[in-house]
Structure formats: structure tokens, C-alpha cells
Amino acid sequence: MDKMEKKKGLLVVSFGTSVNETCKKTIDVIEKRLQEEFSEYVVYRAWTSKKIIKKIRERDGVKIDTVAEAMEHMFCDGVEDIMVQPTHVIDGIENEQMTEDVLAYRERFASLRFGKPLLVDKKDLEGVTEAVMEEFGDLSKDEALVFMGHGTVHKAHRIYQALDAEFKNSGYPYVFLGTVEASPSLERLIERVRAYGVKKVRLAPFMVVAGDHALHDMSGDSKKSWKNLFEAAGFEVRCVLKGLGEYRGIQRLYVQHVKEALRKC
């Protein structure tokens, strides 16, 4: 690198996961894809879940930066221009806190740019719908695709409802999106799927990683797991333990969000 050239850093911020296998298939792959697309940048990693960071450090002896630590790290490395790309699904609590943490360091850098999380506007809804359906071209006519999102009390939760509507408006009435921690309730979701008139359900996580929620809340052995509750309601259930981060189309959208952010400057 020319001594006069400014060092550029691309900070990829994820919530994180304690399930190493899904991390390799999702977060690691997204970071690699971004490094390939933006080779002039040095890619850095930060996770927003301090609980998961602590667990990984104690269990595996692996140190993962918080957002603040990553900013300090980049400053010490001599980075001057920073591009921040979250892998967060929505612009909710985690993304807002991440933004606040990054902006606390703005005076230390020559430039600072942010890419959008996965779902923010109409263009994102269309892109995600296309990317998701690329993965599920083998659905049969008597089968519904039901996604488990995370959900939040934040106002950004309504983007999940908008995406559910986007699937149906785009010609996929058999795709349904529910969440673990917010509306619609699982009971209401089961009612909607039953009203559609199918007997088979394919469950998949609408989360970047197929982590604890996918392994336990969605497909686990508990009587309260989505799999068992759908089966108790009379459906034949198949679970897909594949995070959104594994979808090539979703990876492509994160790349696009970086490009869009760079074009604005």
C-alpha cells in the first residue's frame, strides 16, 4: 500500500452466535464475500451481543471485539476511512446501539459511512423476497413455507409485517412470517396457515444464523417448539436449519448495501 494512501476499514457488525457451525456458514461467509468485493478495504469484525462474546471467550478462548473495541482496534491500526456494514436483519435496538457506539469515535477518523441492515425500505423487501424464493423453488403446492423471525418491541418490527405482505403481493401466498418475541402469536400464525388449506409446513429461521432460536425454539424437542406445536395442530413438518446468511441472494444484498453507502459520498 502506498504510504500516502489512506487505510480503509470495513467493519462488519453482527449480533453474533455461540453455534460455531452456523457462524462458519453465515457470518464468516458474509465477511469473506465483502472482502472479495471490496478488496481495497481491510475487513474487521464486531459483535453486538456481549453475552455471546463472553460465552465464546470462556468456552473457546476466542476474543471477538465489541463495536467499541473494534473502533479502537481500527484507530490503532491507522485506519482513516471506515465503512460500517451491519448484518442485522432490521434497523432495531441492536442497530441503533451499534450506530451510537460507532459515532462516539467519529472525531478520530477522516470519514465514516454506514450501510443499511437487511430490511429497511421497499427495495429491500423486494430484494429479500427474490433472494428467499431462489432458495425454495422446490416447494410443493400443498406445502407452506413458514419463517421464524426474531421480533422486537421496537417500531422497526413492522418491517416483518411488510415483508409478509410483500411475499403474498409477489405471488407467494403460501409464505408466512412469524416471530419469536412479537406479533403475530404462534397460535395466530397456525390459524393463518390452516386457513390457507395445506397440510405440510416447512419451517425455516428468518435470522442471519441458524442459532439457538432455530435449534431450540423452532425445531427443538420441547412441547412448545414451533415444530411440535405445528405437528400438534395436524401438520406434517419439515425443518430447514439454514440461516439467511447462507443464501447467496442475501449475501448479495449486503454487498449492494455497501455499494449504495459508498455511492452516496
What residue spans of 61-157 are helical by DSSP H?
A: 67-76, 93-103, 122-135
Closest CA to 82 of 70, 64, 94: 70
> What is the amino acid identity at position 59?
R
Distance CA 183, CA 126 (A): 22
Distance CA 233, CA 230 (A): 5
Q: Say whether 150 is catalytic.
A: yes
Catalytic residue, candidates 73, 88, 150, 157: 150
CB 252 within 8 A of CB 138: no
> Sign of the C-alpha dihedral, residues 178, 184, 185, 186?
negative
Exposure pattern of 246-258 as b/e (b: 16+ CB <10 Å)? bbebbbbbbbbbb
> What is the amino acid identity at position 249?
G
Distance CA 18, CA 14 (A): 12
Distance CA 209, CA 216 (A): 13
Q: Which residues are catalytic?
A: 150
